Structure 1
Amino acid sequence: MPQLHRSSPSTATRSEEKRRNLLITASELFLQQGYDGLSMDAIVAAAGGSKATIYRYFGSKADLLVAVVEYLCEDFIINLKQLDTSGVELTRGLELILEELVAVVTSPRHVDFYRLVVNGSAHVPQVGQTWYERGPKIWHQLIFNLLEEQRHRGLIAANSSFSELPPILFDALFSHLTTRTVMLGQTCTAKAFAPMINELIDLVVRRLKAP
């Protein structure tokens, strides 16, 4: 009976590390040059190795872009995942989430990333879906979880219906941020958006206030 050949843990670790290094290099190049302006040859030249290696790990250039978007989304929400809104007041919980959104979207790196997503989606539809699942949907769920906890604690009306509130709240701030940073090319600070955050939170609190 033929023996099965399995990769040793060290071999698997080296392979994962090589893939990650390729992904990091490709991410930076995609951010700098966009989807149209970047060739697989340029990635090979910057990362080393061979084109065959990149194809083995990621498949096509389109597949590589999807992997890059997934990787960058995870990078952008590192701090978000560490937020703990349990036990806080509704106002403070929303402040924490929305202030982190401002910090992410106003960063120069995110400006380049959003442009990459918009342009890349025109060529690779899966890019948009990946961005939504790994980006906005995460923020929506965090806001929903906060509201659900507030309801369980009796701090908002028990019969409140707020399933559509998280995307509405997220989109209101996100669209304004991207208009300012991406479309108008403005350099913005988190402090500049404090009045808008306060207004959005006030609207939510009044909408969900327990009787």
Structure 2
Amino acid sequence: MSQLHRSPTSTPTRSEEKRRNLLVTASELFLQQGYDGLSMDAIVSAAGGSKATIYRYFGSKADLLVAVVEYLCEDFILEFKQLDTSRVELTEGLQLILQNLVAVVTSPRHVDFYRLVVNGSAQVPQVGQTWYEHGPRVWHQSIFSLLEQQRQRGLIAADTYLSELPPILFDALFSHLTTRTVMLGQTCTAQAFEPMINELITLVTQRLKTP
């Protein structure tokens, strides 16, 4: 569990607050300047304190980048994690999940973030794993939970194989989104992807066996 998130009733200690402030400042600088373009001195200059303080909390620039990626992943999915699909029909549940994914990935901030992850993981391999665990895997699990809930309600046949559907569905949309926003540099609205979402949902519902 991330060290950044505590119970709503607990009060962060001074040390935790200082660590978080450093992390927030470093996150914005990494997004703006990338991994290679950012020095620890620049982070200290923006956040205050000393390099010794940053090293004490994060260990190294590479470790700081890993912490930044985890923090930003959690920040992007704050609203998504509030979704409750336990009582909705399959089509509506998939729409909620995929529409939220589109909203996240088409934001200019996420474009900068994805570039940071791609470039950073080439130099700090743990960056890619951290991004996957706190990003795509969370979406995979949410889709799988929705499908499993539908099966438990008797709306999907009990013997239907579900494990590969979440990554296939996520990857199809995510790949298209990042191609448009990151690789081609297009500014896209969430509404522009509604036809693709509807097509993907149709393919999934046709694939699933009904009781």
- TM tier, smaller: over 0.9
Q: Distance in 2 between matches of 1:203 and 1:87?
A: 22
Matched position secondary structure for 1:32: helix
Matched residue, 2:21: 21
Matched position secondary structure for 2:121: helix
Matched position secondary structure for 2:86: coil
Question: Number of residues paired by the alignment?
Answer: 202
Residue identity in the other structure for 2:123: H
- Deviation at residue 121 of structure 1 after TM alignment: 0.2
Residue identity in the other structure for 1:61: K
Matched residue, 1:8: none
Matched residue, 1:149: 149
Matched residue, 1:3: none
Q: Distance in 2 between matches of 1:158 and 1:207?
A: 14
Residue identity in the other structure for 1:75: D
- Deviation at residue 184 of structure 1 after TM alignment: 0.3
- Deviation at residue 209 of structure 1 after TM alignment: 4.0
Residue identity in the other structure for 1:183: M
Matched residue, 2:45: 45
- Deviation at residue 109 of structure 1 after TM alignment: 0.2
| TM-align CA RMSD | 1.3
Q: Find out whether 1:187 has 2:183 as its counterpart.
A: no
- Deviation at residue 87 of structure 1 after TM alignment: 1.1
Q: Distance in 2 between matches of 1:106 and 1:157?
A: 35
- Deviation at residue 12 of structure 1 after TM alignment: 6.9
Q: Distance in 2 between matches of 1:88 and 1:140?
A: 18
Structure 1 unaligned segments of length 5 or more: list them.
1-10
Query: Deviations for 1:46-99, whole angstroms, at most 9, x for unmatched residues?
Result: 000101000000010000000000000000010111000011000000000000
Q: Find out whether 1:163 has 2:126 as its counterpart.
A: no
TM-score between both structures, scaled by the size of structure 1: 0.94
Q: Distance in 1 between matches of 2:27 and 2:139?
A: 22
TM-score between both structures, scaled by the size of structure 2: 0.94
Matched position secondary structure for 2:186: coil
Query: What is the percent sequence identity of the aligned residues?
Result: 86
Q: Distance in 1 between matches of 2:159 and 2:59?
A: 49
Matched residue, 2:107: 107
Larger radius of gyration: 1
Q: Distance in 2 between matches of 1:99 and 1:195?
A: 11
- Deviation at residue 135 of structure 1 after TM alignment: 0.2
Q: Distance in 1 between matches of 2:194 and 2:209?
A: 22
Q: Judge which range, 150-159 or 61-70, deviates more.
A: 150-159
Q: Distance in 1 between matches of 2:12 and 2:109?
A: 31
Q: Distance in 1 between matches of 2:146 and 2:72?
A: 25
Q: Find out whether 1:72 has 2:72 as its counterpart.
A: yes
Residue identity in the other structure for 1:155: L
Q: Find out whether 1:35 has 2:35 as its counterpart.
A: yes
Query: Deviations for 1:92-143, whole angstroms, at most 9, x for unmatched residues?
Result: 0000000000000000000000000000000100000000000000000000
Which aligned runs of 4 or more in structure 1 are off by greater than 2 angstroms?
none
Structure 2 unaligned segments of length 5 or more: list them.
1-10
